Structure 1
Amino acid sequence: MTRRQFLAAAAALAVVEPLPLWAQGAPRRVRGTIDGISGRDLAVTTREGQRVTIRLAENASVSALRRLELSAIAPGSYIGTAAEPGPDGAWRALEVLVFPEAMRGTGEGHYAWDLTPTSSMTNATVDSAVEANDGRSLLLTARGQQVRVMVPPDVPVVTPIPAAMEDLKPGAQVFLVATPGPDGTLTASRVTVARDGVVPPM
């Protein structure tokens, strides 16, 4: 995989705008388990239990994820985090992706996300990271907006790494964004796949 392909694959982890699920003609975030692959057709059972077939582009790129320690989220890091609102007014992270420096600025902003019914996604620079009794408190800045996020110790912290088509095996969990064509065929140019026990948490 070339550097350009890797960065394109990693970019799939943070879509700039919220995508309505299963709306006619709209791109769809697909989270699920691979049932099989035939040529470039990837059969997936989604987390909602629906079986879909996704045609992979001829130049489709594949990425995996590597775990990081919570301490890797440091001031100056550029991250993406899905979070839910907490009772104290701060967001509580469900996952954190630490972007490579070359991807700084990807999908910057704070917007609705469909990991859970009440989740948001924030792609932003870490202004401060303070240790707390219940995790790591982050102050993030995205496009001039400040967002405070608490990252509990058990939340997955990951960073993208290159993977290969050979990693798309039955039983592997995937995250991808698929675009429906005029005939309803779903296509995708990037896939993030579970490898070495690290499941896409976004």
Structure 2
Amino acid sequence: MSDARAAILSRLRAAPQLAPPEYPDWQPPRFGNRLERFRIMLEAVHGEVYEVAADQWRERLRAILSAKGVNKVMAAPHLGVDWPEILAYDRPVEDLKELLVDGIDAAVTTTRGAIAETGTLVLWPDVDEPRLLSLLPPIHVALLNQADIADTLAEMMTAQNWAATMPTNVLLISGPSKTADIEQTLAYGVHGPKQLIVLVLQS
């Protein structure tokens, strides 16, 4: 060991040991009205939020999609979506790829919940609602139970006991698809849904 290195190590060992800093117990932020906070954050990035009674969302969905000129809708059969041209994601992705990219006007999915802090939807894809169902069609309609809106992701994970039932995949969606070029010009729907519609189901 060189003399210079030995001198540096000797000074380090002789230096007084400082106690680690003390921090007050951290608490997640509380937003009061979670739904209003979620709405503000999501609408800021061009998302649409509609409140509807839990037993009336199908009628509201028909009105919204009709106003947008939607023809073909894809949704899991168990949702009971009432639409003239309704399809299920019931074939391998290789057989549905062209339809998902250029044949479906809107797709309807459920959600695990939402995060008020960031205006983010949380989805757990499964066999009935695969990941691409919410990522490829031009319009994504998400069904969100108001009771499942949490302040933060950490709070949701704790409340829903994710540690015991971790999914293989989680989607966090904060608005329609968006991207920016080198000049920071933001564009929506370049490679994903151009519109995100959230129906907040109220008991």
TM-score by length of 2: 0.28
- Bigger-Rg structure (1/2): 2
The structure that is helix-richer by fraction is 2
TM-score by length of 1: 0.28
Higher relative contact order (CA 8 A, sep 6+): 1
